[in-house]
Amino acid sequence: MTRFRCLALILVLPVVALLAAHSGLAVAASAKSPVAAVNTAAGTGLKGYDPVAYFTVGRPTAGLDQYVYQWKGVTYRFASAENLALFKSDPEKYLPQYGGYCAYAMSLNRIADISPSEWTIVDGKLYLNNGFFAQSLWSLNKSGNIASANHNWPQYPKKPVGE
């Protein structure tokens, strides 16, 4: 990293962190608190968005009520019968990392909700983030943030689905 980039990060990160805190970056407790194994809203994963569409059409796509599938106690919605079939054939391939929680927050050893429109696929894996600021900060060092998040996620005690 260049000296200029380091200086820019040192000067900008506190401001960005403050803005993120006020813009809804909902960061919850650290690894000591049990969390649901999968980030859901009323039992639905990915806020009703189609996990396969990120890979097939390259954008977040709302799922439809006629294409639903329950996997490990979580309901997922799909935009088409084809996407539903792809998911059924290999669910783990399409599910977001870290139980569908914010990848950047997890790299900081925190839990945060996601915005389905802030996403990236890296090495065939789907990563979601909380919002524009989290996505921007996560993108500055994807490999380092993935390594940190991969280290942190197993340390979180998980509540069973439905609890």
CB 79 within 8 A of CB 50: yes
* Total of domains in the chain: 1
Q: What is the DSSP string of 65-128?
A: EEEEEEETTEEEEESSHHHHHHHHH-HHHHSBGGGGS-HHHHHTT--B--EEEEEEEETTEEEE
- Who wins on pLDDT, 6 or 107? 107
**Largest CA-CA distance found in the chain, in angstroms, rounded:** 53
Is residue 120 pLDDT above 80, yes or no?
Answer: yes
Structural domain for 44, as ranges: 3-159
Q: What is the pLDDT of residue 13?
A: 52
Is residue 18 pLDDT above 90, yes or no?
Answer: no
Tokens of 108: 């900081």
Is residue 101 pLDDT above 50, yes or no?
Answer: yes
pLDDT digits (tens, 9 = 90+) for 87-97: 999 999 999 99
Lowest mean pLDDT among 29-43, 90-104, 116-130: 29-43
